[in-house]
Structure 1
């Protein structure tokens, strides 16, 4: 049986507000990045300008992937609020401290569990690269 959130309705509303504000900001940033990058290569310019623009677009695309992941994490956090499991670590079942959730409202793990998860993912990426 899954543990239920230790946070009050009022606290959950505060977290929901933080999540929705963060989501709106990311969507706005993505829209602005898309608007900036569309059509820029069609403008006349020298090769150095075009190379710089391509690098900028590549950087923006990598940011976009990160932002898309954060949006997914936000949606998952909103779902956990809805089903009453928000603030519970998905790996350990421990309560995620309120301070962590205020700083990173989409967090699904305690800091210790996240660190362990990140190390595991990093080692898997290294192993995958070695096998290629």
Structure 2
């Protein structure tokens, strides 16, 4: 008897991953909203405005928050794309090798599109 290799995750597996991604996506959106609120408060407050060349601290803090917000935006986007892959039933398939990414990896990094082997080869 020949064992057929699994080419995609079952609908039950995809539902599990959707739940994980939904939780992470909600957390990521809340964090992004927090960063955007911090940026808005800095922009609107007198203390947040640059007073001169001698005060680079506020500029550095502003840049750090911008960088954090941009990272969070990318995470939100990656998680949203993962949800689309679930809808299309192609979630969990390595884009390099075409094989299934192990469930353990997907539970830790649910937006990944590559197996560890493929990632290490790059």
Same fold (TM over 0.5): yes
Give the structure with the larger helix fraction. Answer: 1
Could you tell me which of 104, 108, 111 is aligned with 1:103? 108
The runs of at least 4 aligned residues of structure 1 exceeding 3 Å deviation read 44-50
Shift of 1:16: 0.5
RMSD: 2.4
- State the aligned residue count: 114
CA separation of 1:39 and 1:70: change in aligned 2, threshold 3 A: closer
CA distance in 1, matches of 2:67, 2:42: 18
Match of 2:61 in 1: 56
CA separation of 1:44 and 1:110: change in aligned 2, threshold 3 A: closer
Match of 1:43 in 2: 46
CA distance in 2, matches of 1:93, 1:36: 42
Shift of 1:114: 2.1
CA contact (8 A) 1:18 1:105 kept: yes
CA distance in 2, matches of 1:50, 1:33: 22
Unaligned 5+ residue runs, structure 1? Answer: 118-132
CA contact (8 A) 1:4 1:84 kept: no
Unaligned 5+ residue runs, structure 2? Answer: 1-5
Q: What does 1:1-132 align with in structure 2 at a 5 Å threshold?
A: 4-5=7-8, 7-40=9-42, 42-44=45-47, 51-117=56-122
Give the TM-score normalised by structure 1.
0.74
